[in-house]
């Protein structure tokens, strides 16, 4: 057994620091393990629940899909539009130094589909839904609703997490494609004004330079983000123990860890697939 934190403080400060780092790492490792187990269990119920007499209900999946997906459309669309426009502005500003404004379409379409659309969608869904998932499950944890589910014979992961995961896996890629289109539209709109480039020509060129793999690259990322947001939200919710304050902490943690998780995963994924 590890020495308690109080016992650590009495040791040599350096030793205490090392002990604390060790304790933290062990805790993080445990948390990663917990997330992995949660993911495995959620998939287990999604795939095999029907044979274990505990099916994941389609209605629940649809309900969650509306909550995490459909209701996120306005905010994701707005952010994507602004991003597309911002990319056009910056692109034209940068490329003008080389007198290569015409190449801005290439820059916009590639960075939108491969990077910005999935990232913005992921971050916004993490902010909207990651916190909501943690808050909902955390509140249910402290009001004993999770216990109530278990004694009724309803597996909480099957009932709460599996439909969410399915909904996220369905809606996040869809939102990403939507974000692609809206961001490109924003870029096209600015180019039309600044470079007098007709919108039709902008989109024609876009579809010339884009290959399926670019779009797929972005959509695949969004699938990973969907898993990250759901798991981090749910895990923080289930681990709430200290009353209402704990729920507050869990929601904050879900958003912060969710966003960081998304950005790190994005980096690793891009590194592995783009060289």
Q: Which residues bind to another protein, rule: CB under 8 A?
A: 1, 6-7, 10, 52-54, 139-140, 143-145, 147-148, 150-154
Closer residue to another protein, CB minimum distance, 90 or 155: 155
Closest approach of another protein to the CB of residue 250, in Å = 17
The least distance separating another protein from the CB of residue 65, rounded to whole angstroms, comes to 16
Cα gap 111→103, rounded to integer Å: 13
For another protein, which is the closer residue by CB, 58 or 264? 58
Q: In whole angstroms, what is the distance from residue 99 CA to residue 74 CA?
A: 36
Going from the C-alpha of 129 to that of each of 5, 151, 232, the distances in angstroms are 34, 27, 11
As measured in angstroms, the least distance from the Cβ of 176 to another protein is 28
The minimum distance between CB 148 and another protein, in angstroms, equals 4
Calpha distance 146→139 (Å, rounded): 9
* Nearer CB in complex with another protein: 54/90: 54
Our CB check for another protein shows the closer of 27 and 144 to be 144
Q: How far is the CB of 239 from another protein (least distance, A)?
A: 16
Q: Which C-beta is closer to another protein: that of 159 or that of 185? A: 159
Query: Which alpha helices (H) appear in 99-242, and where do they start and end?
Result: 104-111, 117-125, 131-142, 145-152, 156, 162-194, 199-209, 212-238
Label residue 201 left, alpha or beta by phi (over 0 means left) and psi (-120 to 50 means alpha): alpha
The rounded distance, in Å, linking the Cα atoms of 91 and 105 is 9
């Amino acid at each position: 057994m590890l020495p308690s934190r109080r016992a650590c403080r009495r040791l040599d400060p350096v030793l205490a620091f090392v002990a604390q780092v060790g304790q933290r790492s062990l805790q993080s490792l445990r948390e990663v393990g917990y997330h992995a187990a949660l993911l495995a269990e959620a998939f287990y119920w999604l795939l095999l629940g029907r044979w274990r007499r505990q099916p994941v209900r389609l209605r629940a999946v649809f309900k969650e899909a509306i909550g995490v997906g459909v209701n996120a459309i306005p905010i994701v669309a707005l952010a994507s539009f602004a991003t597309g426009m911002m990319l056009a502005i910056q692109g034209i500003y940068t490329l003008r130094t080389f007198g290569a404004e015409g190449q801005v379409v290439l820059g916009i379409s590639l960075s939108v589909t491969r990077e910005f659309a999935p990232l913005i969608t992921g971050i916004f869904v993490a902010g909207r839904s990651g916190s909501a998932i943690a808050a909902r499950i955390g509140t249910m944890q402290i009001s004993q609703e999770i216990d109530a589910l278990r004694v009724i014979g309803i597996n909480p992961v099957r009932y709460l997490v599996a439909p969410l995961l399915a909904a996220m896996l369905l809606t996040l890629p869809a939102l990403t494609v939507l974000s692609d289109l809206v961001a490109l539209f924003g870029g096209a709109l600015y180019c039309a004004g600044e470079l007098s480039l007709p919108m039709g020509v902008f989109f024609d060129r876009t579809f010339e330079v884009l290959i399926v793999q670019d779009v797929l690259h972005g959509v695949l990322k969004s699938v990973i983000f969907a898993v990250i947001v759901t798991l981090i939200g749910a895990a923080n919710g289930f681990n709430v123990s200290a009353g209402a304050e704990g729920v507050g902490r869990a929601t904050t943690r879900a958003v912060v860890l969710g966003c960081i998780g998304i950005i790190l995963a994005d980096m690793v994924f891009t590194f592995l697939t783009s060289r």
